[in-house]
Structures are given as C-alpha cells and as structure tokens.
Structure 1
C-alpha cells in the first residue's frame, strides 16, 4: 500500500452549457479574468485552487462538478481505489503540461478525480 497522503482537492471542474456566460459569472465571482481561456476550457487560479469550466461536459461527458484530488503517484493511487471497489470511468492520461488525470466512480456512483503533476 502506498502513502495515503494527498495534496487535497485543489481542482474542481464544472460542466457548462454556455462557456461565455459561465466565464462572465466566474470572473465576477473570483474577481479577475481566467488564466486559461480557450474554446474548449476556461481555467481560473485562485489561492491554492484551480476552477475549470468545461463546455458541454467535455470529452468525459461530465454532468456535474468533479473534484480532483492531487496525488503524488496517480497509477498507484488509481490501483488502490480500484482494488477497494471503485470503477475506472476515465483511464489515466496526459492532459498537457506534465499533468496526468483519471476519474473513478465510487460504490455509489459518485465521480472522483485524481491528478498528478509531474
């Protein structure tokens, strides 16, 4: 078993139906413009957290916000939560900038995200 320490939930992605309208709301809420602004993703860094807006749920088809736990070893943690009863929803993969992500569903169907920054 690996070390169970995490760096906590520092990333939350929100599926949005209208990216421009959502961007305006989150800009007002967070008090400043996004640091990442593209047609497929808008991201805000605020304090120690990252808030992302994903149009139409993105390729993973999100239907509700997903909180991402930052972990030091994505593959090891993924294997542990699957062995404990979770089901892989989105396999581990690179999303750019040395970051790898994966999602699982827990035994009640809740989606949990895992992120490893390299």
Structure 2
C-alpha cells in the first residue's frame, strides 16, 4: 500500500466549510464544485464532501492509494474489516471504498 494522500471531510454546509479550510490551509481550492472542494497542500489532498454524511462518513476519513482496489478490499475484509461504502466510481478514473476496522474507525481506499 502507498501512503495516505487524501483526507476527506464530510460537511453539511459546503460554503461555510470552504471559508474555514481556505483560511486554515492558506490557499484557494484547486477544485471548487458543488459536489467536491479540493485543496492540495504539499502533495496532500484535503477535500470537503457535501455528500459525505449521506455516504456514511462520520468524520475526516483518510484514503490510502492502492494498486488493486478489489484485492485490497478482499484482503481487509478477510482480516476482519467490514465494508461501509462499496467500491464506487467517483470520476476521473478513480474508484473509492470505505471500510471499518473492529473499532469502527474508517479506512478509505482508492484506485486511479
């Protein structure tokens, strides 16, 4: 597995969250859409997802980049994780899934 390179925050009020994160990060977002606001800070993607709560995200979720999403999900579930969000294409050739460890901590994985 690669390093965590994306951290996604579920937000209810995208405009308010964008103001806070633009101030916190000291930069404007590189992507500013109604469905996703993304910032790049030293190679780290910090994103705001207004649909995150609906998808089951309960807080900031780290996403690990993997070469084979299906194999990674299978290995993690065999190790005891449970799938919270099934693999989903999110655009740009990227697919994501979210799993929960035994304590309910969210583990995001992405390919593409």
Correspondence for 2:65 among 62, 65, 70: 70
Question: For the residues of structure 2 that align with 1:70 and 1:63, how far apart are their CA atoms?
Answer: 20
Q: TM-score, normalised by structure 2?
A: 0.92
Q: TM-score, normalised by structure 1?
A: 0.88
The secondary structure found in structure 2 opposite 1:33 is coil
Query: Which runs of structure 1 show a deviation greater than 3 angstroms over 4 or more consecutive aligned residues?
Result: none
Answer whether contact 1:10 1:50 (CA < 8 A) is retained. Answer: yes
Answer whether contact 1:12 1:66 (CA < 8 A) is retained. Answer: yes
Per the TM alignment, residue 56 of structure 1 is displaced from its structure 2 partner at its CA by 5.5
The secondary structure found in structure 1 opposite 2:97 is strand
Answer whether contact 2:11 2:53 (CA < 8 A) is retained. Answer: no
The match for 2:25 is 30
Correspondence for 1:93 among 88, 94, 102: 88
The secondary structure found in structure 2 opposite 1:32 is coil
Count the aligned residue pairs.
112
**Aligned Cα root-mean-square deviation (Å):** 1.3
Answer whether contact 2:36 2:50 (CA < 8 A) is retained. Answer: yes
Stretches of structure 1 lacking an aligned partner (at least 5 in a row): 1-5
Correspondence for 2:55 among 55, 60, 64: 60
